[in-house]
Amino acid sequence: MEVKSRQRFKNGRFKKKMDVMDCNNNVDLLSEEEKSNELQMFENNPTSPDKATNIAVTEYSDILQGRRIIDLAYFAKMLQQGCAGCEEPLQLVGCVSERKYGLASIFQIKCHKCGNITSISSGKRQNDEKNGQGPFDVNVKLGVALLHAGIGEAIFASILAIMNIPCMTSGNMKKVERRAGSAIENLAKETCDVILKDEAEKSSDSLSLSYDAGWQKRGSGKNYNSLSGHASMIGLHTKKVVGYSVMSKTCRKCDVATKSGNTVPDHDCRKNWGGSSKAMEPAMAVNILNEIKEKGIFKER
Ligand SMILES: [Zn+2]
Ligand SMILES: [Zn+2]
């Protein structure tokens, strides 16, 4: 494919990308010219099957719309591996249907040589010991990304909508976020244990730790009423976190059930504080120290 130079207006000024792009935000993967060339190639192919039904052409405009998140190396390799029937390399223009799994897709691609249909996914899946094939990598990463960026599913869905990327349901997004959350929590706890042992070995007689707490809502001078707070302790020698605590005054599931008069369903409740927000700070310090004590590493002076 030849690289086009930037387009210019008659007066010689360069056209901005926006001038060149389709203003309906409905930009296809290929320009009109490139697309018709690709279709032409497909139609002129002497081995092309079902020319009468014209499947590839009609399905092309119906299916390959908008944008997708693709693991390029994996996808290219799968296309190269080719047809399950005759091993002829596959072309994306032969896609006859697409099944969405969150942000991942499985494309059914028709071989232009033998007509066999081969399924190719847009990215790798994780191994699941129970069920064999686990969730798609891209969906797992989404859970981590939502937590890392600190945004909710509504904001992410609106970003994808503008980008013209098909989105997953908010319920599924919450699921992947929760799955990532528990994995990150376990990792944080394991890391703290390792650092605490290291700190204890480097300390001569007692542990020297620094401590600070913070709240998610800033105190205004009059009100110090944040609904949640967090704290961490850092070792003097390792300069790493040996313990942390998070406190929350509310839980959405509990609140909704209580307001509607229903019994509270069994859930991973994070409401663990009923006092004032300011009092969270000493309480979290005590929590962390008690946890360290329980681990049997705490050294009395
Ligand atoms: Zn084939
Ligand atoms: Zn709750």
Alpha-helical regions (H) of the chain: 17-20, 32-44, 55-63, 72-81, 137-149, 153-163, 170-202, 252-259, 280-294
Tens of pLDDT, residues 149-205: 999 889 999 999 999 999 888 888 988 999 899 999 999 999 999 999 999 999 888
| Cα-to-centroid distance, 256 and ligand 2 (Å) | 9
pLDDT at residue 17 in the model? 54
pLDDT of residue 301: 53
Question: 59 and 95 in contact (C-beta within 8 Å)?
Answer: yes
Average pLDDT over residues 286-299: 85
Give the other-Cβ count within 10 Å of 165's Cβ.
Answer: 13
Going by pLDDT thresholds of 50, 70 and 90, the confidence category of residue 32 is low
141 falls in which pLDDT band (50, 70, 90)?
Answer: very high
Residue type, 206: S
Q: 253, 264 in Cβ contact below 8 A?
A: yes
The alpha carbon of 284 and the centre of ligand 2 are apart by a number of angstroms equal to 19
Q: Is 129 helix (H, G, I), strand (E, B) or coil?
A: coil
For residue 91, report the distance from its CA to the centre of ligand 1, in Å: 11
Residue 94 has pLDDT above 80, yes or no: yes
Stretch among 1-15, 31-45, 238-252 having the lowest mean pLDDT? 31-45
Nearest ligand to the CA of 264 is: 2
d(CA 90, CA 117): 10
Q: Which residues neighbour 68 within 8 Å (Cβ) at sequence distance 6 or greater?
A: 105, 122, 165, 166
CA of 285 to the centre of ligand 1 (A): 66
The Cα 134–Cα 128 span in angstroms is 4
| Rounded distance from Cα 45 to ligand 1 centre (Å) | 14
Of 120-134, 135-149, 177-191, the range with the lowest mean pLDDT is: 120-134
- In the predicted model, what is the mean pLDDT of residues 60-87? 88
* pLDDT for residue 50 is more than 70: no
Q: Is 113 within 8 Å of 107 (Cβ atoms)? A: no
118 C-alpha to ligand 1 centroid (Å): 9
Question: How far is residue 224's CA from residue 255's CA, in Å, rounded to a whole number?
Answer: 21
pLDDT tens digits for range 215-267: 999 888 888 899 999 999 999 999 999 999 999 999 999 999 999 999 999 99
The rounded Å distance from CA 117 to ligand 1 centre is 8
In this prediction, residue 45 has a pLDDT band, given cuts at 50, 70 and 90, of very low
At 64 the pLDDT is: 80
What is the spatial distance between Cα 195 and Cα 243, in angstroms, rounded to a whole number?
9
**Long-range contact pairs involving 67-74 (C-beta distance under 8 Å, separation at least 24):** 67/29, 67/163, 67/164, 67/165, 68/105, 68/122, 68/165, 68/166, 69/103, 69/104, 69/122, 69/123, 69/138, 69/165, 70/122, 70/123, 71/122, 71/123, 71/124, 71/137, 71/138, 74/123, 74/124
Supply the angle between the helices 170-202 and 153-163 in degrees, to the nearest 10: 120
pLDDT per residue as tens digits for the range 101-124: 889 999 999 999 999 999 999 999
CA of 228 to the centre of ligand 1 (A): 59
Arithmetic mean of pLDDT, 205-221: 90
- CA of 84, nearest ligand number: 1
pLDDT value of residue 228: 94
* Dist. CA 96–CA 62, nearest whole Å: 9
Q: Taking 60 as the threshold, does the pLDDT of residue 131 lie above it?
A: yes
- Which ligand is closest in space to the CA of residue 266? 2
164 Rama class: left (phi>0) / alpha (psi -120 to 50) / beta = left
- By the CB criterion, residues less than 5 angstroms from ion ligand 1 are 83, 85-86, 88, 111, 113-114, 116
* pLDDT at residue number 299: 54
The contacts of residue 152 (CB under 8 Å, 6+ apart) are 146
| 250 Cα: distance to centroid of ligand 1 (angstroms) | 58
Rounded Cα gap, residues 212 and 230, in angstroms: 9
Average pLDDT, the chain: 82
